[in-house]
Structure 1
Amino acid sequence: MSSFYDLAPLDAKDQPYPFDQLKGKVVLIVNVASKCGFTPQYKELEELNKKYGDNVQILGFPCNQFGWQEPGNSDEIATFCLANYGVSFPVLKKIDVNGAKADPVYKFLKSQKSGLLGLTRVKWNFEKFLIDKEGKVVERYSSVTKPASLTGTIDGLLK
């Protein structure tokens, strides 16, 4: 994979979601789960989504690899996100973020920005990757980083 914009993961309806449509936007990618201690971060992610509108694209990737905290299918996940947090940003198809079956999006993201102590694997749900308007992975944040704390960095990338 040569570029962020070459990626086209599947959305919740199994249709390609080509990243080339994201050119010129700041993108925040988060591996999400419905039954996790960090699940309330959906609220702040949606607040960021409303604050930045078309300038920032937030993408959620459900993942069941950490404590089996995302057991639902795409419809159940979408219903949960909307009913509990009013999520209006895309929540794509459930994927693996680590291991042999890791989605190409996460293979790319991890190859561009390592985590704590240089580890490449995603440690837990709600880890975040921030991509600039040119498709460069500029930051990687742990699960404990609250989405609202990213506003300063996002504002800087939008200038």
Structure 2
Amino acid sequence: MRRMTAALALTLGLAAPSAEAAQGFRFDSIDGGEIALDGFRGQPVLVVNTASQCGFTPQYDGLQTLHDRYGAEGLVVLAVPSDDFKQELSSEAAVKEFCDVNFGLTLPMTEITHVKGADAHPFYKWLKAEHGFAPRWNFNKVLIGPEGEVVDTYGSLTKPTSRKVTRKIEALLAR
């Protein structure tokens, strides 16, 4: 894995403590305030770029299932709504209401956030620069380990509750 230079980190606007750890990043919360990945140190985090008007939107049910099943053991499921693929509602309030009414979501959620391109959030710029992964569509998933390491990435077709995902989550929780 390639090490990030200090110049590259500054260019990307990264706050990560190292090229290996995701924990230095912060997102604006859909509920106001910030969601700091550093606050989840020692816990696995599944970060998912989402959209309310996508064919994969029913995966919200699976994300909530993971949150309900593994949240008490330490898993954090973080939804990152994005309109980069032109399938998100026009405001945070609309997204929050949609997710509450249709899926009863109780997991943390960011404001509508860019996940690709020049305007991508620093977390996603870091993910691409250091791990070669950028969301190619909605509902791409990134599993972050307890120390901030990228454990695995999954495309839209991988359901949140698939064995492929839950096996890795369970292994991280058993550490």
Matched, 1:124 2:110: no
CA contact (8 A) 1:49 1:89 kept: yes
CA contact (8 A) 1:112 1:137 kept: no
2:93 is aligned to 75
Deviation of residue 125 (structure 1)?
Answer: 0.2
CA contact (8 A) 1:113 1:140 kept: no
TM-score, normalised relative to structure 2:
0.83
Q: Separation in 1 of the partners of 2:29 and 2:120?
A: 16
Equivalenced residue count is 153
CA contact (8 A) 2:127 2:134 kept: no
CA contact (8 A) 1:127 1:140 kept: yes
Q: Separation in 1 of the partners of 2:44 and 2:126?
A: 17
CA contact (8 A) 1:113 1:138 kept: no
Q: Give deviations 1:86-134, integer Å, cap 9, x for gaps.
A: 11001101111111110011112223433xxxxx432000000001111
2:171 is aligned to 156
Tell me which amino acid in the other structure corresponds to 1:64. Answer: D
Deviation of residue 6 (structure 1)?
Answer: 1.2
1:117 is aligned to none
2:80 is aligned to 61
1:92 is aligned to 110
TM-score, normalised relative to structure 1:
0.91
SS at match of 1:147: coil
CA contact (8 A) 2:140 2:153 kept: yes
Structure 2: 5+ residue runs without aligned partners? Answer: 1-15
- Relative distance call for 1:110 and 1:22 in structure 2 (3 A) is same
Task: Decide which of 126, 131, 148 is 1:135's aligned counterpart.
Answer: 148
Q: Give deviations 1:24-71, integer Å, cap 9, x for gaps.
A: 1110000000000000000010000000124100001111111x1003
Deviation of residue 146 (structure 1)?
Answer: 0.4
CA contact (8 A) 1:113 1:139 kept: no
Q: Separation in 2 of the partners of 1:98 and 1:143?
A: 15
Task: Kindly report the root-mean-square deviation, in angstroms, between the aligned alpha carbons of the 2 structures.
Answer: 1.3
Q: Which has the larger radius of gyration?
A: 2
